[in-house]
Structure 1
């Protein structure tokens, strides 16, 4: 589906994948965390909501001051500090670091801790090797059997210099560019696009309906209000057709949009609307555009996919 000429995604090549899903798509899943009780509440008062997709486990955590989140994982964890009223500290892989603003952090395999001296909101993405989180996910039953329409993705290459704590804390200082789509970071298992905030509603004449052949899109709304417009493409079997969906939801919330449903998200809030798009594994088409992935020099793509930025 074509994008507007001023949309950076118009630079992308058309869909070209070896496998086109033949089964029935999963339904759209949406989670309004303002209306859902947390899945985990720590002794220190931190609250977490756990949702999985085919290739990633999503955790939203409201981190309480002085609480400590500890993990011991076999794979790396991609963490986004969405908001903080103090310092958020990381201790992992023999290194420590702290941030006082929005940031992206990669925690290496093994033991790690996250703490804060003030309230903070974190988004964490785990590989599905975190079996305890897979089982605690509130939608675990959706993926008990692998859907025919979603590809399993192997890990991408090891980071340059090996796994270690990496913190990218200049997120808010990255200026927009018409040649780049948002602010994209990736690790071996996932990719996040911290979209630039939009103040006020999106122009309804500039929407960008599109679809993905065999991977999910997770759209996390942190602030504001969005309407996720979703349409099932018509095939030859009318019994497989579905009515269009228009899900209006505020932040914090998550929508999981399955392939190959057509979708676009429209900011409709009067104030600041802020969203993060998540893909697992990392998107090859975004990774193939020079300069789009801001930490590509640390996390190489598989052979044949673009070059480091």
Structure 2
């Protein structure tokens, strides 16, 4: 279904391609450690993935955050209390929450895993990402980040359930805010059939494939242009959970779950995807966040 949305061939690039980048949190040193919390950071051109292991009482704060960000609790059993703009809300996993600009705080009410998706406008976090060196030079194939319109009734904490039943013809569970789109999936049990993969590409935006359970091989292939100096070797990169693969345009890519148990990816896009947003009923909170006129 996703591959059907892709155009038949990538646009001719004006610049060399950029290789994929990875954050393997399970194999890296935390960027931050505090009372009852450890946090790892990895980034793409537009988005930072902050992965935290928390116990009850842990605090995750942002001061003077310049734009909206997302909080994802992929598993049931963990709740967090979110405070922002004088509002207090409790989010219980699985869920997606969008947090308004300004000061905010998350307080863990139990033990589990929290994913925060924050744009690279948060320069304090971007500089401390484990793969920051990969983005010392921006990818010219990715347009500058432009936020989508503000929510229809103003800035506030918004929490959306992550266990909405599947529906024929709808792809995943898509939620968007003014900066980010999240696809919160249920995952697949057992290894993926190698005869049933879904290679596809994007012309001009990154995909953040965040492994929240299981193990994956990310298969990537870049097109050949007339300038062989721009060619890149195919990649078949192993990533266990927790991790993130930052897939640049216009690489053809597909991810293959390989673990015997649950294999689950959380896909994120920054800014939101126009093609997904144009499909009637696909974005579950579309009424709260208008799409750009063009």
TM-score by length of 1: 0.89
Structure 2 counterpart SS, 1:89: strand
Task: Give the distance between the partners of 1:294 and 1:20, measured in 2 at CA.
Answer: 34
- Indicate how the Cα distance of structure 1 residues 151 and 120 shifts in structure 2: closer, same or farther if over 3 A, else same: same
1:206-225 paired onto structure 2 within 5 Å: 206-225=196-215
1:79-228 paired onto structure 2 within 5 Å: 79-83=71-75, 85-168=77-160, 170-172=161-163, 174-228=164-218
Alignment match, 2:25? 33
TM superposition shift of 1:24: 1.3
- Indicate how the Cα distance of structure 1 residues 253 and 86 shifts in structure 2: closer, same or farther if over 3 A, else same: closer
The answer to whether the aligner puts 1:78 opposite 2:74 as a matched pair is no
Per-residue displacement from partner, 1:37-81 (whole Å, max 9, x unpaired)?
A: 111112x13111111211122111112221212212121111101
Q: In the alignment, is the contact (CA less than 8 A) between 1:50 and 1:138 conserved in 2?
A: yes
Per-residue displacement from partner, 1:265-289 (whole Å, max 9, x unpaired)?
A: 1112111111101111111111111
Q: In the alignment, is the contact (CA less than 8 A) between 1:87 and 1:99 conserved in 2?
A: yes
Q: Select the residue among 238, 256, 275 that pairs with 2:265.
A: 275
Per-residue displacement from partner, 1:277-305 (whole Å, max 9, x unpaired)?
A: 1111111111111111111111110014x
RMSD of aligned alpha carbons:
1.9
Structure 2 counterpart SS, 1:205: coil
Alignment match, 2:47? 56
Q: In the alignment, is the contact (CA less than 8 A) between 1:31 and 1:255 conserved in 2?
A: yes
Task: Give the distance between the partners of 1:203 and 1:164, measured in 2 at CA.
Answer: 42
1:221-300 paired onto structure 2 within 5 Å: 221-300=211-290
TM superposition shift of 1:9: 4.7
Per-residue displacement from partner, 1:87-114 (whole Å, max 9, x unpaired)?
A: 3111112111113321111111111110
TM superposition shift of 1:128: 2.4
Task: Give the distance between the partners of 1:204 and 1:271, measured in 2 at CA.
Answer: 16
Structure 1 counterpart SS, 2:239: strand
Which stretch shows the higher mean deviation, 271-280 or 51-60?
Answer: 51-60
Count matched residues.
293
Structure 2 counterpart SS, 1:34: helix
Alignment match, 1:307? none
Runs of 4 or more consecutive aligned structure 1 residues displaced over 4 Å after TM superposition: none
Alignment match, 1:3? none
Structure 1 counterpart SS, 2:220: strand
- Indicate how the Cα distance of structure 1 residues 15 and 285 shifts in structure 2: closer, same or farther if over 3 A, else same: farther
